Amino acid sequence: MPFQTPPPTLQYAKLTFPTPHVLLVTLSRPKQLNCINTAGHHELHAVWEWMDAEPDLRVGVLTGEGRAFCAGADLKEWNDTANSNSQAQSQSQPQSPSQQRTTPSTGFGGLSRRSGKKPLICAVNGLCLGGGCEMVVNADVVIAAQDAFFGFPEVQRGVVAWAGALPRVVRTIGRQRALEMVLTGRRVSAEEAERWGFVNEVVPGNGQGGGGDAVVKRAVEVAGVIAANSPDAVVVSREGVKLGWEGVGAEDASRLLLDGWAKRLNDGENIKEGLRAFVEKRAPRWVDSKL
């Protein structure tokens, strides 16, 4: 598959391209339950930036290798960092904000605060806790294995879900359910998460097979359906929903969408191709988005 720029070099994840225009990213620290360390956060940030900039890619899928999607932050690294910070403070050597930052501006895994341009699907193949759950909260579509479960156990470790999920999860599942999750730290099953609107679809069967299991297969199928649509229309439609979800009023969001995107969409090749294909009763032949 030809790309304008080569994909980032990764140590803690694997990149594959299972179907045209779809990027599959598999977290690859199975012995650590795919906990993400500082380097891993920045690797993933680079991947999503590359995906957004690469014309041939239209949808991303994120999953985990082994029995976990992602168990959150690398607490061993966090503990070492906390001890180092404590020692620096005792020696009157305060760290700068840039030294203290362990995640990029786009949040945990480059995803929990990502705005981005192209849709991203989480294929939750198993355990999904802490920062893993923060990534899922900000995903565009969530497909979960039947035996997957979700939780915010931060309060049980004396820490807080800083990476963007707290103000976002309440918009997805409501105040009381959000507070139940983040204040008790209890684990929520895939079926319960689906009832709450946290998960789009639950895939029957065991999700512990890793990157080749049924949940990934289903997520790639959904990604393929999205990728078969006009890439321009997908980008703009996602932006409209995102504006509303982020708290912009309906009329303000509509105006922002029209003012910022309508002319660019209408001047593009894909809207012309879609209308022409409809009239000619054939499948459209989309070109890569230039938005």
115 with 254, same domain: the answer is no
For residue 155, is pLDDT > 50? Answer: yes
Q: Is residue 5 part of a domain?
A: no
175 with 254, same domain: the answer is no
153 with 181, same domain: the answer is yes
Which of 227, 253, 268 is the C-terminal boundary of a domain?
A: 227
Q: What is the pLDDT of residue 252?
A: 87
Which of 184, 200, 227 is the C-terminal boundary of a domain?
A: 227
For residue 207, is pLDDT > 60? Answer: no
98 with 184, same domain: the answer is yes
190 with 55, same domain: the answer is yes
User: Picking from 68-82, 112-126, 171-185, which range would have the lowest pLDDT averaged per residue?
Assistant: 68-82
Q: What is the percent of the chain with per-residue pLDDT over 90, rounded to a whole number?
A: 74
81 with 100, same domain: the answer is yes
Q: What is the pLDDT of residue 291?
A: 86
159 with 243, same domain: the answer is no
pTM recorded for the entire structure = 0.90
- pLDDT tens for residues 245-289? 887 788 888 988 888 888 899 899 999 999 999 999 999 999 998
Measured distance CA(65)–CA(211) in Å, rounded: 6
Q: How many domains are there within the chain?
A: 2
Q: Which one, of 122, 139, 125, 134, lies nearest residue 203 by Cα? A: 125
Measured distance CA(168)–CA(6) in Å, rounded: 33
128 with 247, same domain: the answer is no
Which of 184, 209, 227 is the C-terminal boundary of a domain?
A: 227
Q: Residue 46 maps to which CATH number?
A: 3.90.226.10
Domain membership of residue 242 as a residue range = 231-279
64 with 134, same domain: the answer is yes
Measured distance CA(27)–CA(25) in Å, rounded: 7
Q: Is residue 2 part of a domain?
A: no
212 with 263, same domain: the answer is no
pLDDT-derived band of residue 101, with 50, 70 and 90 as boundaries? Answer: low
3-state helix, strand, coil in the chain (%, to 5): 50, 15, 35
Q: Is residue 3 part of a domain?
A: no
Q: Is residue 236 part of a domain?
A: yes
107 with 126, same domain: the answer is yes
pLDDT-derived band of residue 114, with 50, 70 and 90 as boundaries? Answer: very high
152 with 268, same domain: the answer is no
Q: In what order do the strands lie in the sheet with 22-27?
A: 13-19, 22-27, 59-64, 120-124, 141-145, 201-203
Q: Is residue 289 part of a domain?
A: no
- pLDDT tens for residues 213-225? 899 999 999 999 9
Q: Is residue 291 part of a domain?
A: no
